[in-house]
């Protein structure tokens, strides 16, 4: 089969004779039609994270069921499906994490396109119970971004945003996590970084969770304009703020840097003056370490900061006493549990997620995958790009 194979750092080859996968009885063979291009693909390509070559990359996959194993259930040949990038590898979902409902954090998680071969190839074999059927009416060149770019912030917003004390003191805590009565409904949300993941975070905050205000923060005006199309009610250009106030943040340290960050945070929250400057949830989708202190400074007391983007290095000169003083909940998030992915698919099928806006680049083919990675690095891809597996 044809496949995009990584043989080492920056050694990405398109081969035509890679061995076809052979399915087990509980698996299905899927003809991969489209994949989404993620920053993780770039980090693998650049050798920033370890992997065992040769490796077929690509973990945002939409395709068509080609063959069904003897014991596979609930799918038929010809079904349109998506595949979660991370799914359980333990038997019968019986490890501690799976039993707690965190199937995305299984002790033996399978990470497609990293730990095992991915979807930038003509075929991929996966357990049938982790291939999720999606209506034919959802274009596959858009559906492929659901498994990661959409479902990761979906999980963050749905399950990681509610402060523990709110849950503890609720008479019916389950309502806090239901779409129509979710805790974020009518709240104020700030999203740092409007890219492949930050864009869906803005869109979901507005369309699905119905936050009152969504403020997007970035350093590029074109991304902030993009955020407005996705549902942002306010935007702040962080770079412009520092330039207008004659602040070179990279030259500052200690108290002066903290003062500059505090000034930016006050500027962000000033957009919520009518709500007494209340910032209920901050999601850091930037993947930039220096954003985290701004997120902590921006969020209101007794509220939540969620780390969504993957930071490449630790934060420097950060006073973590601020977390104590503001009584904050700091949550990480990783992929999406299997049960929430089903809810996410339904939201897309019901038209509550604007996939047509989120996917901004559809012209790449598998042969041009390396070009797509370079374009992603060069800032030429506004939202999410999809790869046509021809």
d(CA 348, CA 150): 10
Q: What is the pLDDT of residues 89-102, one digit of tens each?
A: 998 899 999 999 99
CATH code that applies to domain 3-149+337-388: 3.90.180.10
pLDDT band at 390 (very low <50, low <70, confident <90, very high): confident
pLDDT band at 250 (very low <50, low <70, confident <90, very high): confident
The percent of residues in the chain predicted with pLDDT above 90, rounded, is 92
d(CA 107, CA 112): 15
Mean pLDDT of 130-152: 97
pLDDT computed for residue 316 by the predictor: 76
Cβ density class 48-85: b for 16+ within 10 Å, e for less: eeebeeebbbbbbbbbebbebbeebeebeeebbbbbbb
Task: Compute the Cα dihedral for 104, 320, 40, 230 and give only its sign.
Answer: positive
The ranges assigned to domains in the chain are 3-149+337-388, 161-332
Mean pLDDT of 133-149: 97
Q: What is the pLDDT of residues 358-369, one digit of tens each?
A: 999 999 999 999
- Is pLDDT above 90 for 112? yes
pLDDT computed for residue 73 by the predictor: 86
Between 58 and 290, whose confidence is greater?
Answer: 58
- Which 3 state secondary structure label does DSSP give 348? helix
pLDDT computed for residue 25 by the predictor: 95
- CB-based contacts of 42: which residues, under 8 Å, 6+ apart? 373, 376, 377
pLDDT band at 313 (very low <50, low <70, confident <90, very high): confident
**Cβ neighbours around 99 below 10 Å, total:** 11
The number of residues in the chain equals 390
- Is pLDDT above 80 for 354? yes
Q: If residue 11 lies in a helix (H) or strand (E), which one and from where to where?
A: strand 11-15
pLDDT computed for residue 381 by the predictor: 96
Mean pLDDT of 218-222: 97
- Is pLDDT above 80 for 118? yes
CATH of 161-332, one of 3.90.400.10, 3.40.50.960, 3.40.50.720, 3.40.50.150: 3.40.50.720
Beta bridge partners of 330: 305
- CB-based contacts of 222: which residues, under 8 Å, 6+ apart? 382
d(CA 277, CA 264): 13
- CB-based contacts of 281: which residues, under 8 Å, 6+ apart? 157, 161, 184, 187, 188, 189, 190, 299, 303, 304, 305, 306
Cβ density class 215-226: b for 16+ within 10 Å, e for less: bbbbbeeebbeb
- Which 3 state secondary structure label does DSSP give 217? strand
d(CA 353, CA 340): 15
Q: What is the pLDDT of residues 260-280, one digit of tens each?
A: 999 999 999 999 999 999 999
Q: What is the pLDDT of residues 15-32, one digit of tens each?
A: 999 999 999 999 999 999
Q: What is the pLDDT of residues 59-72, one digit of tens each?
A: 999 999 999 999 98
- Which 3 state secondary structure label does DSSP give 124? strand
- Is pLDDT above 90 for 318? no
- Is pLDDT above 90 for 319? no
- Is pLDDT above 90 for 312? no
- Listing from the earlier edge strand, what are the strands of the sheet with 3-8? 11-15, 3-8, 55-56
Nearest to 353 by CA among 234, 206, 217, 235: 206
pLDDT band at 374 (very low <50, low <70, confident <90, very high): very high
pLDDT computed for residue 278 by the predictor: 98
At 234, give phi and psi (nearest 5°): -145, 155
- Cα 170–Cα 353–Cα 129 angle in degrees, nearest 5: 80
Q: What is the pLDDT of residues 331-343, one digit of tens each?
A: 999 999 999 999 9
pLDDT computed for residue 176 by the predictor: 97
In order of 102, 245, 293, the CA distances from 162 in angstroms are 17, 35, 20
- Which 3 state secondary structure label does DSSP give 280? coil
Question: In the Cβ-directed half-sphere of 165, how many Cα atoms lie within 13 Å?
Answer: 7
pLDDT computed for residue 315 by the predictor: 82
- Is pLDDT above 90 for 311? no
pLDDT computed for residue 1 by the predictor: 97
pLDDT computed for residue 254 by the predictor: 87
DSSP state of 20: P
For tokens 């998506």, the residue is 82
* Axis-axis angle for helices 221-230, 198-207 (nearest 10): 30
d(CA 41, CA 258): 34
d(CA 164, CA 58): 35
* Axis-axis angle for helices 198-207, 151-159 (nearest 10): 50
**What pTM value is reported for the model?**
0.96
Beta bridge partners of 213: 188
pLDDT band at 218 (very low <50, low <70, confident <90, very high): very high
pLDDT band at 310 (very low <50, low <70, confident <90, very high): confident
Judge whether 61 and 33 are in contact, CB under 8 Å.
Answer: no
d(CA 375, CA 263): 34
pLDDT computed for residue 314 by the predictor: 81
């Amino acid at each position: 089969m044809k496949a995009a194979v990584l043989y080492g750092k920056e050694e990405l080859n398109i081969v035509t004779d890679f061995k076809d996968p052979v399915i087990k009885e509980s698996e299905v063979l899927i003809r991969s039609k489209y994949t989404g291009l993620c920053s993780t693909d770039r980090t693998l390509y650049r050798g920033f994270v370890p992997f065992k070559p040769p490796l077929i990359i690509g973990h945002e996959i939409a395709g068509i069921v080609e063959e069904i194993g003897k014991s596979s259930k609930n799918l038929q040949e010809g079904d349109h499906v998506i595949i979660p990038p991370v799914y359980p590898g333990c038997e019968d979902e019986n490890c501690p994490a799976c039993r707690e409902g965190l199937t995305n954090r299984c002790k033996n998680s399978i990470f497609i396109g990293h730990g095992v071969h991915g979807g930038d190839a003509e075929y991929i074999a996966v357990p049938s119970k982790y291939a999720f059927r999606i209506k034919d009416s959802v274009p596959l060149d858009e559906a492929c971004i659901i498994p990661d770019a959409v479902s990761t912030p979906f999980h963050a917003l749905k399950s990681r945003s509610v402060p523990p004390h709110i849950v503890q003191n609720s008479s019916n805590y389950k309502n806090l996590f239901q779409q129509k009565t979710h805790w974020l409904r009518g709240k104020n949300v700030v999203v740092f970084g409007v890219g492949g993941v930050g864009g869906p975070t803005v869109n979901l905050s507005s369309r699905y969770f119905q936050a009152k205000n969504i403020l997007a923060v970035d350093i590029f005006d074109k991304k902030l304009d993009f955020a407005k199309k996705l549902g942002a009610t306010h935007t702040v250009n962080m770079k412009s703020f520092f330039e207008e106030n004659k602040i070179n943040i990279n030259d500052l340290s200690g108290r002066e840097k903290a003062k500059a960050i505090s000034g930016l945070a006050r500027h962000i929250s000033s957009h919520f003056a009518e709500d007494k400057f209340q910032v209920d949830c901050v999601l850091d989708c930037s993947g930039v370490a220096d954003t985290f202190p701004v997120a902590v400074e921006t969020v209101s007391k007794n509220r939540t900061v969620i780390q969504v983007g993957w930071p490449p290095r630790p934060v420097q000169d950060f006073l973590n006493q601020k977390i104590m003083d503001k009584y904050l909940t700091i949550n990480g998030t990783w992929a999406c549990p299997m049960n929430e992915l089903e809810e996410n698919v339904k939201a897309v099928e019901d038209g509550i997620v604007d996939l047509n806006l989120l996917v901004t680049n559809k012209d790449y083919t598998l042969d041009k995958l390396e070009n797509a990675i370079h374009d992603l690095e060069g800032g030429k891809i506004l939202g999410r790009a999809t790869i046509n597996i021809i």
